[in-house]
Amino acid sequence: MRSRGCQTAGPAGKVPRRPADGENAVQLGWSHLLELLHEGRLTTYPLGVLSVIVFAIAFERMWRYRGLDTATRDLTRKLVECLVRRDVAAARTLCEASKTPMSEVFGEGLRWRNIALEDLNQILHTARLEVVMELRRGLWFVGTIGSLAPYIGLFGTVVGIMRAFGAIAASGDAGFEVVSAGISEALIATAVGLLVAILALLLFNWLQTRVSNIAATFTRASERFVQALLYLEASGEPAEVPSGHATARR
């Protein structure tokens, strides 16, 4: 006879392990969450797609900004050293070889001679704005999704409440079993909308701050570049200046 409470051994003589109560609870929790997400698919699926796009843009921009501050400072230092040595040709070669965004701005500044300092600053300012605008590319979408996601979730909430009232009207009963599906859809839509909005706004604010810091580095680099050009002019003609180019004039 088998004693009560004994487990039957498996094929290999081992007693199969019963899943713990906590594991069953986790499995049921995830299954219930997926069911809720599917019930609110009218808004949860679009929000899921938008969140993937937001993260893709954010990570691409993070990779784009990586090391720009250090690279800009290094390029500026080397460029100033070339101009102090009055070696404009080496400075231009350095700008052409560099892949940092400010190399285009510095290259634009090296193309001019015999212009007023205010005009040179305006030229550099315009070129710098174009570079910074490229760095901000795609950020508007992240900010827009951060602003619109709660409203998309609210739309799902309204739809869920409407379904709950529709179920009450169809059955004539206001019991919890009748309205639970619609209420669940409304709550999951609100939760997903808020979650996407919070993450998108966090990423947007961080990226905006990062671009602002990089733009400040670009501004300081431009100021050092102009100071080096003024020193070059004050110390006399450069050792080698290709014809048709210009330097700053006070």
What's the pLDDT tens digit per position in 61-74?
A: 999 999 999 999 99
Q: What is the mean pLDDT of the chain?
A: 78
Asked whether residue 20 is assigned to any structural domain, the reply reads no
Residues 6 or more apart whose CB falls under 8 angstroms from that of 115 comprise: 123, 246, 248, 249
The residue among 92 and 185 whose pLDDT is bigger is 92
Asked whether residue 28 is assigned to any structural domain, the reply reads no
Range of the domain at 77: 41-249
Domain count, the chain: 1
Q: Which of the given ranges, 30-34, 125-129, 174-178, 227-231, has the highest pLDDT on average? A: 125-129
Asked whether residue 22 is assigned to any structural domain, the reply reads no
pLDDT score, position 141 = 94
The residue among 143 and 248 whose pLDDT is bigger is 143
What's the pLDDT tens digit per position in 202-250?
A: 999 999 999 999 999 999 999 999 888 888 777 665 444 443 444 444 4
Asked whether residue 134 is assigned to any structural domain, the reply reads yes
Asked whether residue 162 is assigned to any structural domain, the reply reads yes
Asked whether residue 136 is assigned to any structural domain, the reply reads yes
pLDDT score, position 215 = 94
Lowest mean pLDDT among 111-125, 156-170, 224-238: 156-170
Asked whether residue 117 is assigned to any structural domain, the reply reads yes
Asked whether residue 171 is assigned to any structural domain, the reply reads yes
